[in-house]
Amino acid sequence: MKSTKKKATVTGLPTADELRAALHANQDTPARRAIAALFDADTFVETAAYTKRSFNDYVSVDKDAEFEGVITGYGAINGKLVFAFAQDETRMKGAIDANHAKKIAALYDLALKKGAPVIGVFASSGAFVEEGVTALAAYGRLLKTVTDASDEISQIAYIIGTCTGTAAALASSFDFTVASDKATFYVANPELGGKQCESDAFCFRGAENACCDYIRNLIGFLPDGDMDYVENATDDLNRRLDGVTVSGDAHDLISAIADNGVYTELFADYGTSAVVALTTVAGVKCGVVANSYAVNEGRISKDAAYKMVDFLRICDCYSLPVVTLTDSNGLDADISVDAVKALAYGYTQLDVPQVTVICGHAIGAAFTLMGSKSLGAELTYTLENAEIGVLPADASVAFAWNDDITTDVTREELEAKWRASVSTAAAAAATGEVDDIIPVSELRARIASALLMLSC
């Protein structure tokens, strides 16, 4: 008996060559330029490249051939495996829909299996309005994907275009947030009175080429998937710092102790009385927290305190040892009790090796808060000429020796005597709160020795 069923016919479907040609029709987009600038040449491999948008009845049929507005894939940065997604504003303005979230989630599954970092390149107009609740749910799935991975792998957000609302919250959930100077970053929509986020939201902000260089350097200082933070040293472990002086600029000291003088600073544009940076010392990847005495005598401001707290959390998350270089005259007048409490808590909760060196001044709360033994540091050193005390010498004399000022004994003489006899490195070492007094020339070598011992 002859079948009366009609044979199914498929017409109008593109061939593989046609799909490939459509996919690669426009390679000169901000998203693809960012990928090219970040990854080693010819190493990036795209995943789920031909995924289409998830359309519904509210979307015109002439869009049903458009590829999903996010590019996903993997490649090498300085020879290290890295995964990335990049929102492409040339495809439906990079709007987020269900398939957008699905592609990123699949990328994270691969990255988690390999313990490799993820870079997210953000440039999107927001949720895909026509999808309604489905698009909002996609945001939720992305937030869950990022937060679930936060203790497992490194995540770097790179904002190159529009990033507002929930997308801004998503980017801020990454461990590091870098922004192009062309990017717009609003938590609340600017049309509703929202203001662009201040510099404290970013580890770094600058021109696109500078951002890509920053991210490439940052990747190099992060531990591999097995959290192994010790590598072969490329600098002399015993390199002396002859001729180096304590100028009050924390950058100079960090450069002096870092292998080959190389480090990457985070959050440089705010809380400038403190400097935080990633580097290696004797091949040990570590974080450095330092006061910069050249800025308001290194006093710990509210912004500086929270900046250090955020950095300590990063170091703890990645099992990076912390080196603290103290040079501060205490607390700034604007600091809040909550900021002081947060900084103390940040140090006490560290579960990584800690080495502290008092480089110039450790006055009042700065001695206690900046990685002291009492807060958990394993080893604490001081340079020979450091000033350590409850108050600066001038305030100490005014409080304790004011009656000793006569026509024969000046205030300046008493202050000099206080520095030479009371607030000295030797006096601090005598209490047992400082392990050793070292010359500046041995600063790098002693830090290197301590890190290598504690990292065994």
pLDDT band at 428 (very low <50, low <70, confident <90, very high): confident
Rounded to the nearest 10 degrees, the angle between the axes of helix 98-114 and helix 133-148 is 10
- Over residues 193-213, mean pLDDT: 80
Q: How far apart are CA 355 and CA 324, in angstroms?
A: 6
Of 73, 69, 68, the C-alpha closest to 83 is: 73
pLDDT attached to residue 18: 62
pLDDT attached to residue 392: 74
- Span 121-142, pLDDT tens digits: 999 866 565 666 776 788 889 9
CATH 3.40.50.880 fits 16-221, yes or no: no
- Over residues 168-178, mean pLDDT: 91
Q: Higher confidence at residue 266 or residue 132?
A: 266
DSSP class of residue 179 equals E
Q: How far apart are CA 219 and CA 64, in angstroms?
A: 38
In the three-class reduction of DSSP (H, G, I as helix; E, B as strand; rest coil), residue 158 is classed as: strand
- Over residues 247-262, mean pLDDT: 96
Q: Higher confidence at residue 58 or residue 292?
A: 292
- Span 313-331, pLDDT tens digits: 999 989 999 999 999 999 9
C-alpha pair distances (Å), 154 with each of 5, 38, 216, 318, 407: 57, 16, 13, 8, 64
Q: How far apart are CA 88 and CA 345, in angstroms?
A: 41
* pLDDT of 9 over the 50 cut: no
pLDDT band at 250 (very low <50, low <70, confident <90, very high): very high
CATH architecture of 250-454: Alpha-Beta Complex (3.90)
* pLDDT of 3 over the 60 cut: no
pLDDT attached to residue 97: 80
pLDDT attached to residue 61: 40
Q: What is the mean pLDDT of the chain?
A: 86
pLDDT attached to residue 416: 75
Strands of 13-97, DSSP E: 45-47, 70-77, 80-87
In the three-class reduction of DSSP (H, G, I as helix; E, B as strand; rest coil), residue 377 is classed as: coil
- Over residues 50-64, mean pLDDT: 55
* pLDDT of 62 over the 60 cut: no
Q: What percent of the chain has pLDDT over 90?
A: 59
Amino acid, single-letter form, for residue 162 = T
C-alpha pair distances (Å), 182 with each of 6, 202, 222, 444: 57, 14, 27, 39
Q: Higher confidence at residue 432 or residue 416?
A: 432
CB 123 within 8 A of CB 161: yes
Q: What's the burial of 429, exposed, middle or buried (CB within 10 Å: 0-12/13-18/19+)?
A: middle
Least confident piece of the model among 28-32, 169-173, 352-356, 411-415: 411-415
- Span 357-386, pLDDT tens digits: 999 999 989 999 999 999 999 999 999 999
Q: How far apart are CA 263 and CA 319, in angstroms?
A: 18
For the chain, what are the domain ranges? 16-221, 250-454
Count of residues in the chain: 456
Percentages (nearest 5) of helix, strand, coil residues in the chain: 40, 20, 40
Q: Higher confidence at residue 170 or residue 233?
A: 170
pLDDT band at 193 (very low <50, low <70, confident <90, very high): low
Degrees to nearest 5, angle at CA 163 with 162 and 166: 145
